[in-house]
Amino acid sequence: MPSFTPPRCPNADCPRHTDPQPRFCRRRGSYWPKCRAAPIPRYHCKSCNRSFSRQTFRHDYRDHRPELNESLFLLLTSGVGLRQCSRLLRSGVRCPQQKLAKMGRTLALLRDNLCPRLPSSRVFVMDEEETYEGASIRPLTMPVVIDRETWFVVAVDVGSIRRLARRGTRRRVMQDQEEAKHGRRQDQSRACTERVLRALAAKCPAGDLLLQTDKKSSYATLARRIFGDRLTHETTSSRRVRDRHNPLFPINVTLAMSRDNCGRLRRKSWLVTKCAPRLLDHAQLFAVYRNFVRRRFNHDKENETPGKLLGIVPRNLDAAEVLAWRQDWGDRSIHPMSRSGMQTVRASMVA
Ligand SMILES: [Zn+2]
């Protein structure tokens, strides 16, 4: 990346972070880390006297094996498990685990940065994917909201659920033993659905919207409380045949894709989640892959991702782009399509 220019001072306390001036910094040599093919330029801020490098702006800042990031992202969104990734990439076992958590953080921020608002008067579909952590007596829920027309994943979250089996069954005995040992299992289903709906409300602060869900009673109360009168809520029985005429078809297929793309969501699999926060990280990878990397339908054009169809980005992004720049500076973060680093996520890019 020879054309890189530091767009601002990376030190958030420096005035040149929010208000960068031309030539606020000067070049100060370079360093050559073992993991890179070329030296990395260093800079010095004239305002705060701190030094930084091109790496300070990048997602792979301080990574030990940065060259594995793109392949790992694609493997983890192709149903491959963490251990198999470490075998294929010839890395240590911990490497994909740590990278998954870091990618999850960056990609969650990227999704918010690229799409702080959605166009008004749209239709959204919500449902919950159920899985478990470690054993089926510890169930988890993963509510997902998508835009009906483009299948853009708007919000996703993960929470534990408590669902006791009938008294006297072997399963109930195991559940009771589990609770005696670790305390009562929390049921976060409602709180978790609420977070997802609030994330949707934050992206659609005004205007009418239509929400389609199944008949779970808590959805109606929560949605009414969050959106008030501007909401129309349509429900479909979960017993209705799940074909393309079912109003929940887009979310049913999205959840089926999430099971295909995230190995840990496959039922009765070794890959199942051992720790709930890692499922949320993995879901963030899936959401970015689905929104910005993969085309909406197989018969759409290659670059017609949900993000492009919504007008958020002008084309599909590749794994290198979504993992290019750090995203923890909100609107000041660098746009994934920017090669020089000069355009922020608010810039309108051309394909
Ligand atoms: Zn500075």
Q: Tell me: the pLDDT tens digits for 19-53?
A: 999 999 999 999 998 888 889 999 999 999 999 99
Centre of ligand 1 from the C-alpha of residue 329, in Å? 15
Centre of ligand 1 from the C-alpha of residue 196, in Å? 37
What pTM did the predictor assign? 0.96
Centre of ligand 1 from the C-alpha of residue 4, in Å? 17
Ramachandran angles phi, psi of 214, nearest 5°: -85, -170
Query: What spatial distance separates the first Cα and last Cα of the chain, rounded to whole Å?
Result: 19
Strand 139-147 with 25-31, pairing: unpaired
320-325 long-range CB contacts below 8 Å, 24 or more apart? 320/70, 322/73, 322/107, 322/110, 322/288, 322/292, 322/293, 323/59, 323/60, 323/69, 323/70, 323/73, 323/103, 323/106, 323/107, 324/58, 324/59, 325/57, 325/58, 325/59
User: How far is CA 33 from each of CA 27, 61, 89, 290, 326, rounded to the nearest angstrom?
Assistant: 18, 12, 20, 33, 19
The residue type of 163 is: R
Centre of ligand 1 from the C-alpha of residue 336, in Å? 23
Which residue is listed with tokens 């339908």?
297
| CATH fold of 120-274 | Nucleotidyltransferase; domain 5 (3.30.420)
Centre of ligand 1 from the C-alpha of residue 15, in Å? 7
Centre of ligand 1 from the C-alpha of residue 40, in Å? 19
SS3 category, 299: coil
Centre of ligand 1 from the C-alpha of residue 345, in Å? 21
The residue type of 255 is: L
How would DSSP label each residue in 132-147? Answer: ESSSTTSEEEEEEEEE
Centre of ligand 1 from the C-alpha of residue 317, in Å? 31
Centre of ligand 1 from the C-alpha of residue 167, in Å? 64
SS3 category, 111: helix
Residue spans of the chain under pLDDT 70: 1-2
Alpha-carbon distance 99 to 21, whole Å? 34
Centre of ligand 1 from the C-alpha of residue 9, in Å? 5
Q: Residue 149 is encoded by which pair of tokens?
A: 């027309």
Centre of ligand 1 from the C-alpha of residue 331, in Å? 18
| pLDDT score at 1 | 52
SS3 category, 27: strand
Neighbours of ion ligand 1 (CB under 5 A): 9, 11, 14, 16, 45, 47-48
Centre of ligand 1 from the C-alpha of residue 125, in Å? 45
Centre of ligand 1 from the C-alpha of residue 116, in Å? 27
Centre of ligand 1 from the C-alpha of residue 24, in Å? 8
Count of Cβ atoms closer than 10 Å to residue 162 Cβ: 14
Centre of ligand 1 from the C-alpha of residue 19, in Å? 10
Centre of ligand 1 from the C-alpha of residue 46, in Å? 7
Centre of ligand 1 from the C-alpha of residue 54, in Å? 14
Centre of ligand 1 from the C-alpha of residue 111, in Å? 27
The residues spanned by each domain of the chain are 1-57, 120-274
Alpha helices (H) along 241-333 = 249-261, 276-288, 306-309, 319-322
Centre of ligand 1 from the C-alpha of residue 2, in Å? 22
Strand 139-147 with 123-132, pairing: antiparallel
Centre of ligand 1 from the C-alpha of residue 16, in Å? 5
SS3 category, 329: coil
Centre of ligand 1 from the C-alpha of residue 129, in Å? 45
Whether the CB-CB separation of 302 and 338 falls below 8 Å is answered with no
Centre of ligand 1 from the C-alpha of residue 51, in Å? 8
How many CA atoms within 13 Å lie on the side-chain side of 28?
Answer: 12
